[in-house]
Amino acid sequence: MPDLSDPPPRSRGRAPAVAADRGSTADRLITVAAALFRAKGYAATTTRELAEALHLQKGSLYHHIQTKEDLLYRICSESMARLHDEVLHAIAGAGPDDRLRTAIRAHLVAALRDRDMHAVTVLEMRSLGEGRWAEVVERRDAYRHMLAGIVREEQDAGRLRDDIDASVLTLALLDLVNWAIFWYQPAGQLSAQALGDLLATIYLEGALVRAS
Amino acid sequence: MPDLSDPPPRSRGRAPAVAADRGSTADRLITVAAALFRAKGYAATTTRELAEALHLQKGSLYHHIQTKEDLLYRICSESMARLHDEVLHAIAGAGPDDRLRTAIRAHLVAALRDRDMHAVTVLEMRSLGEGRWAEVVERRDAYRHMLAGIVREEQDAGRLRDDIDASVLTLALLDLVNWAIFWYQPAGQLSAQALGDLLATIYLEGALVRAS
DNA sequence: GTCTATATTGTGATAGAC
DNA sequence: GTCTATCACAATATAGAC
């Protein structure tokens, strides 16, 4: 059961030490909030902890945001937008039958670059209020549909199996890349690119030894 | 981005209507808590909502539990234990080169039977206190290692590719089955068994059309 | 833009009658 | 085993000085 419980290892007990002293206060807020939301969950993270991690007083937060939910919203919509853009950009320069592998790799690289933000997006999106939630879901679905479109095209081109529904193929693909960010260990010998390639290979070729 | 945001659809706004009137109060507590934690998250679910869903007064809850965390703990450890048992039982009666497919199917069927509990386990495990968290993680790791053992044996037998590390192969497998419970639609035409088979096929054979 | 208050509401949990 | 009533405290957010 790969999940969200172990990493980041030292987050249990005390707040993670975040590089909270670079950039504009607005940007620091996002970064620090993402790290805390990732470690403890959105609802369990208090504005006090947030302020403390930023070396601010509680009241000072509200000069930059109106509600705690603003932070979650910005994390979700920015990470989704960046992911979509990056993957689109990557596959624009890919050969016709290399698009899926390229997309998988680009997704993983993008998600691992802003790991906290993506983890929070995927886990805490549901905590957004009605309107903002719908907006983020819309972004997410747009991305999903873009990928599903590629899958369908590859099926039509005879390269992807069409005995399995395109939506199932797409969701399986997304499960593979989306959740790897929770167990990937940056300290290991595997680069984000390399892991992306491995996952693409598993997804495309399967785990069985090829009959060849 | 398959995730946790849409289902269960009518959970946004009001508490889901749970079959809260069957079984012992202790069992109802687990069932109702799992449904609420699944819908709103553990931290965001209040003991008041819990009591309301059970048609009890707040104070009455504490005859059955000592803290809200007790519920999360029971959900996590029971669901992990059941999953491990069921998958073990299933593969005990499987042919030598059918074990992985059988395990995948059994995992999915078990996870979908107690869907709320498994979703909560996977998402909210991190909210457990130090000691109980470690205990549940231990259970989870035991299950992981059991699967990784199979993967390694299959590699040694020459049936699974060994150009990819067994731990990566195992984690990829777990991502595939673990997170499908968040997008699977019971109302659709696909049974849990059938989805398990599809995922097993994707995992084992890959999404590409086989050269054959 | 940050500070020191403080308002207000919601929280988990307990006490003790029935 | 459930009820009513309540405690002690933590939560988000605001007000107004500097």
pLDDT at A7 over 80: no
The pLDDT score that the predictor gives to residue B3 is 57
Mean pLDDT along residues A98-102? 97
Lowest mean pLDDT among A93-97, A144-148, B112-116, B137-141: A93-97
Per-residue pLDDT tens digits for B140-185: 999 999 999 999 999 999 999 999 999 999 999 999 999 999 999 9
The pLDDT score that the predictor gives to residue A26 is 87
**Contact across the interface for B183 and A160, Cβ inside 8 Å:** no
Residue B153's contacts (CB-CB under 8 Å, 6 or more residues apart) are none
Structure tokens, B140? 């989870």
Label residue B84 left, alpha or beta by phi (over 0 means left) and psi (-120 to 50 means alpha). Answer: alpha
Got the DSSP string for A124-153? Answer: HGGGS-HHHHHHHHHHHHHHHHHHHHHHHH
Q: Please give the model's pTM, rounded to 2 decimal places.
A: 0.94
A57 CB contact with strand D at below 7 Å: no
CA A143 – CA A120 distance, rounded (Å) = 17
> Whose CA is closest to A190, among B145, B162, B148, B164?
B164
The pLDDT score that the predictor gives to residue A31 is 98
How close, in Å, is residue A165 to chain B by CA atoms? 9
Per-residue pLDDT tens digits for A158-190: 999 999 999 999 999 999 999 999 999 999 999
* pLDDT band for position A126 (cuts 50, 70, 90): very high
Question: Could you give the count of Cα atoms lying within 13 Å of B178 in the half-sphere of its Cβ?
Answer: 25
Helix (H, G, I), strand (E, B) or coil at B62: coil
Give the whole-number percent of chain A exceeding pLDDT 70: 89
Per-residue pLDDT tens digits for A13-47: 455 555 546 788 889 999 999 999 999 999 999 99
The pLDDT score that the predictor gives to residue A4 is 62
Residues in chain B: 212
Q: To which residue do tokens 């996002």 refer? A: A30
Q: What is the mean pLDDT of chain A?
A: 92
Q: Which residue is nearest to nucleotide D2 (CA to C1')?
A: B60
How close, in Å, is residue B81 to chain A by CA atoms? 12
pLDDT at A94 over 50: yes
Residue B50's contacts (CB-CB under 8 Å, 6 or more residues apart) are B29, B32, B33, B36, B61, B68, B71
Report the chain B residue with the minimal C-alpha distance to residue A13.
Answer: B130
B172-175 contacts, C-beta under 8 A, 24 or more apart: B172/A176, B172/A180, B172/A198, B172/A199, B172/A202, B172/A207, B172/B203, B173/A207, B173/B100, B173/B104, B173/B147, B173/B203, B174/A1, B174/A2, B174/B144, B174/B147, B175/A2, B175/A175, B175/A176, B175/A178, B175/A179, B175/A180
Q: Tell me, in Å, how far CA of A79 is from C1' of C1? A: 27
Angle formed by the axes of helices B68-92 and B99-113, nearest 10°: 150
The pLDDT score that the predictor gives to residue B8 is 45
Helix (H, G, I), strand (E, B) or coil at B125: helix
B50, B32 contact by CB (below 8 A): yes
Residue A59's contacts (CB-CB under 8 Å, 6 or more residues apart) are none
> Whose CA is closest to A117, among A56, A70, A76?
A76
* Positions of chain C reached by protein Cβ under 7 A: 1-6, 10-16
Q: What is the pLDDT along chain B (212 residues), one digit of tens a residue?
A: 545 656 543 455 445 555 546 788 889 999 999 999 999 999 999 999 999 999 999 999 999 999 999 999 999 999 999 999 999 999 999 998 899 999 999 999 999 999 999 999 999 999 999 999 999 999 999 999 999 999 999 999 999 999 999 999 999 999 999 999 999 999 999 999 999 999 999 999 999 998 76
Measured in whole angstroms, the distance separating CA B38 from the mean position of its chain's CA atoms is 11
Q: To which residue do tokens 């030894």 refer? A: A209
**DSSP structure class, residue A18:** -
**Contact across the interface for A174 and B80, Cβ inside 8 Å:** no
CA A31 – CA A190 distance, rounded (Å) = 25
